[in-house]
């Protein structure tokens, strides 16, 4: 999977035609074979652009930054990234006519150690679902696989699970990197950052971490696209995907196989309902 040349050509052409002001892509790191995102405004820098299986970061996160706001943006998206883009479009965070989207039929990306990422092994929608131009051959939607870690956790007892999650919340340093690197957390001021809110207090204790992470994951339930930007950003290496995958599984099982952002115009599972939703747990 190497589309560097194609992306460079497309970006150069877009700049030459005056169709975009900014291009968001990947470039090589200066010191190893990993890649970092790059925001290009100068057509001369187009030659830096690359795309291989090391292109990990979800670039739709940059659509909320100052450099891209109200500008015409060219963007590279993989399958999961395009799902988050779909949600951003429906939630009126970006305008479709201002974007030129290069979709990738993704074959899965690898982490620093060269191993295929877990979310790519379990990927359901590898092809970009919203694009102006598609690179690679689309492979279609795959079957839903329940996350291996969730299955493992479900087999454990209550006390064991409590101990495991206590460690997660204790090791959280409350830097909020997960939230800032999430493409779908675009609120101008997050509810857990409100100084006046007595409901949440900004101290960096583990009970605050519990409150913040639980609230965060529940506000993303039915919207999370499993791009794992949060895990990449976490300085404590916490398995944050557990919270999201659990929600995703419950939603997929109970709410008509809903997957966030796969269809155009999807607003997430909590913005719609069905009369047949399960209510056997309600007294």
Partner 1 sequence: MEEVKEKIVSIEKPDLIAPPDWKPVIVGILCNWCSYAGSDLTGTSRTQYPPNIRIIRVPCSSRVDPWFIIKALQTTADGVLISGCHPGDCHYISGNYYARRRFLVTRELLKMVGFHEHRVQFSWVSAAEGSKFAQVVKKVTEDVIKLGPLHLYKKENFSK
Partner 2 sequence: MSFSTFVTDKTGLQKLYEAIISKHETYAPVEKFGKYDYKKVSSLKECDPDSPIAMTMSVKPLFFPRASKIMKYEANSSGTTIMETDEDPLAGKRVVLGVKHCDARGLQVLDAVNKWDYIDSDFLKRRANTVIFSTRCDKADTHCFCTSLDYDLEKLDALDVAVVNGSDGKIYLQARTGKGDIFLKENSDQSTMYDVQNTMDDVRSTKYEEDMKKQYIAFTGSFRLKMDYKDVNEKMAKRFDSPAFEEASRNCVSCNTCAFICPTCHCFKISDEKIKDTGVRYKSYDSCNNVYFTLEAGGHNPRPAKFRRWRQRSMHKFVYYKERFGVNLCVGCGHCAISCPVNISIFDVVNHVANSPASS
From the CB of 176, what's the least distance to partner 2, in Å?
A: 6
Interface residues with partner 2 (CB under 8 A)?
Answer: 29-32, 34, 36-39, 57, 61-62, 65-67, 167-168, 171, 173-177, 180-181, 189, 193, 195, 198, 201-205, 208, 229, 232-233, 235-239
Interaction partner, residue 278 (partner 2, partner 1, none; CB < 5-8 Å by kind): partner 1
CB 59, CB 25: distance < 8 Å: yes
| Letter string b/e over residues 206-236, b meaning 16 or more CB atoms within 10 A of that residue's CB | eebbbbbbeebbebbbbbbbbbbbbbbbbee
Residue of 108, 140, 137 lying closest to 121 (CA atoms): 108
> Quick one: 141 or 190, whose CB is closer to partner 2?
190
Interaction partner, residue 247 (partner 1, partner 2, none; CB < 5-8 Å by kind): partner 1
Interface residues with partner 1 (CB under 8 A)?
Answer: 153-154, 158-159, 161-166, 169, 191, 199-201, 205-207, 210-211, 214-215, 217-219, 221-222, 242-243, 246-247, 250-251, 254-255, 269-271, 273-275, 277-279, 281-283
Interaction partner, residue 218 (partner 1, partner 2, none; CB < 5-8 Å by kind): partner 1
> Quick one: 62 or 169, whose CB is closer to partner 1?
169
From the CB of 166, what's the least distance to partner 1, in Å?
A: 7
Interaction partner, residue 180 (partner 2, partner 1, none; CB < 5-8 Å by kind): partner 2
- Residue 254 exposure: Cα atoms within 13 Å on the Cβ side: 16
The β-bridge relationship of strands 49-50 and 22-28 is antiparallel
CA distance 169 to 167: 6
DSSP, res 115: P
> Quick one: 208 or 254, whose CB is closer to partner 2?
208
Question: DSSP of 31-46, one letter per residue?
Answer: SSS-EEEEEE-SGGGG
Tokens for 150, please give them.
């969730």
């Amino acid at each position: 999977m190497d589309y560097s040349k194609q992306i460079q050509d497309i970006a150069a052409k877009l700049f030459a035609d005056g169709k975009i002001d900014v291009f968001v892509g990947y470039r090589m790191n200066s010191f190893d074979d990993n890649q970092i995102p790059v925001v290009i405004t100068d057509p001369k820098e187009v030659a830096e652009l690359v795309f291989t299986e090391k292109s990990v970061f979800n670039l739709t996160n940059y659509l909320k930054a100052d450099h891209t706001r109200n500008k015409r943006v060219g963007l590279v998206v993989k399958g999961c990234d395009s799902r988050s883009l779909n949600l951003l479009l429906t939630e009126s965070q970006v305008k479709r006519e201002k974007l030129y989207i290069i979709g990738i039929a993704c074959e899965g990306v690898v982490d620093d150690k060269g191993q295929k990422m877990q979310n790519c092994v379990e990927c359901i929608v590898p092809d970009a679902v919203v694009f102006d131009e598609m690179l690679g051959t689309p492979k279609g939607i795959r079957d839903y696989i329940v996350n291996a870690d969730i299955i493992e956790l479900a087999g454990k007892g209550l006390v064991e699970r409590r101990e495991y999650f206590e460690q997660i919340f204790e090791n959280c340093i409350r830097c909020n990197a997960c939230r800032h690197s999430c493409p779908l957390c675009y609120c101008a001021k997050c509810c857990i950052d409100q100084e006046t809110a007595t409901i949440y207090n900004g101290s960096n204790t583990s009970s605050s971490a519990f409150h913040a992470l639980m609230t965060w994951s529940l506000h993303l339930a039915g919207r999370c696209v499993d791009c794992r930007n949060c895990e990449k950003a976490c300085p404590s290496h916490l398995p944050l995907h557990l919270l999201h995958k659990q929600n995703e599984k419950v939603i997929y099982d109970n709410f008509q196989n809903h997957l966030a952002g796969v269809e155009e115009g999807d607003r997430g599972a909590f913005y719609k309902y069905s009369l047949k939703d399960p209510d056997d747990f309600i007294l």
